[in-house]
Structure 1
Amino acid sequence: MTKSDGLVLAERRSVAATGRTERAPRPAPRRRAVRPVLVKAALYVLLAIMSTPFVYPTIWMVFAAFKPVNEIFAVPPTLFPQQWTLDGVSQIFTVVPFARQYLNSLYIAVIVTAVSIVVCALAGYAFARIRFPFRSGLFLLLISALMIPGEVTIIPIFRWVAELGLMDTHWPLIVVPIFGPQCVVGVFIFRQFFLSLPDELEEAGRLDGLGRLGIFCRIALPLAGPAIAAVGIMKFLSSFNMYFEPLIFLRSQEMFTVGLGLTQYRDSYGEPMYSTQIGATALTIIPVLVVFLFAQRQFVEGLSRSGIKG
């Protein structure tokens, strides 16, 4: 018996004595990466098919700006123009002062959005975190303003604006959306968000010597990103697309917003310029899409968190 045979025999005896055998480790099963990829691809295809009814009108609107009028009203409708033309697009900025109206809507929407976020955040924080008499009753009264149609209050607002000499100015389009019934939804979203914040955050702020305003500015407001995005998108969208209020308060084309300016595209015979109007309408959706694409995640989170705690 050689030395190597003796070692093997000794190893076998030790294994038999202990009664345990060491098995070789099994190779790890290969992960099947094909199935998740197929599932994800099928999900994307399904979502694309389901989104077609919502995306198709916007795509059709963009291509319709390059169609002649007879193709716009063709039956059945076509997506791509059979005869491309720039006659309608070239007159967007010449028939009416569309660039000025576009800037009017932009700066009004930006001011209304920024100030509304501050006002709604302050009111929402007060209703959520500050104990004061008749708090629940006042909040219920505030929510009840949503049941009043805007057409009911437009007459007293019109008289108030006329007495102040603010007709044909942008002040009613800025002040009314900020402090009017349109701001109630923003207050509700901020209140629900601030109710979900733990009390320990405020206690830690008080230990650091912060007052009520300091807690709001340095703790509560920086954490309210989802609520800010939700209120900001809704206020920007409603303010940029205003039509009824500009129709009541504005008189000159230079003061018009895009919602009212789109109705002014008519030729020398008074007939609507459909291709030009459609092209201008396509340009009005650009700011809304940009704002929503940058804040869509926070927007969805803010709406979802608004119902966590009542």
Structure 2
Amino acid sequence: MPASLASHVESWHPGPVTDEDALPPGPAAALSAVLDLPGPAAASGDRLPPLWQWLYFLDWAPRRALGPDGHLRDARFLPPVPERRRMFAGGRCEVVAPLRLGEPAERVSSLAAVTPKRGRSGELLFVTERQEFRQHGSVCLVEEQDIVYRSGEGSAPHWPATLDRSAVPRSEEPWQLRLRPDETLLFRFSALTANAHRIHYDTPYCRDVEGYPGLVTHGPLLALLMLDLARRNAPERPVRSLSYRLHSPAFAGEHLLAAGTPADDRARLHIASHREPRHATAEVTFA
């Protein structure tokens, strides 16, 4: 019998690592253009919107360091499991004070938890990475990301052979924001976040190896879309905390709807398509 995933990480205890970034305004302006905003969401000296820290502290590894799926073969917080497959599951973020563009920042990354579980596709390994973002010696953000790993092929879900890319989701909720990610948008977002995972740009690999019916829309893009819904509808209300969860992949060309309902000091948000009412969900708490 093959060894359990837990056995591969029994002695895996990577230590924390610190990175620095000057937080130049260029990446924020670039994402604003990718999302078709009328102008940059933040300029030098402005508050960086929540989760836009994903545009910074990037690691551009040499091509020889990448595996067949486009991800790094080895890195500090990648668990040493064989034939590793990676899925972004969700995360949380506490905002003590927003990061300011154009001011040097420090990120301290550490391993928060490693939890083996068994799902419908077999054994899974949940890895939580914790990140603290600091400016001028003070903690500004505390973020945790949950990544799910499996070994080998597993039993993949059965996706439709073809996708209806003309159907448009509907909602009665007061906050709404629509997006139809195409191949160009996914390519540009991959470049902005240094994400070389082939499921976002290589259609033959996506279909023949991973078993998807088309290019997969980035999970982080879905999370950013939900947060942008809150930013556009409540620009005067700073976000104090947020949590998000990714439930089901969305694919290039599908019409997506970010919708939400505010209530007192919080808002519940989600991403829907015509075939899935909840690709992703989030809850935002306002200061």
Fold match (TM-score > 0.5): no
Larger % of helix: which?
Answer: 1
More strand by share: 2
TM tier relative to shorter chain: under 0.3
TM-score w.r.t. the length of structure 1 is 0.20
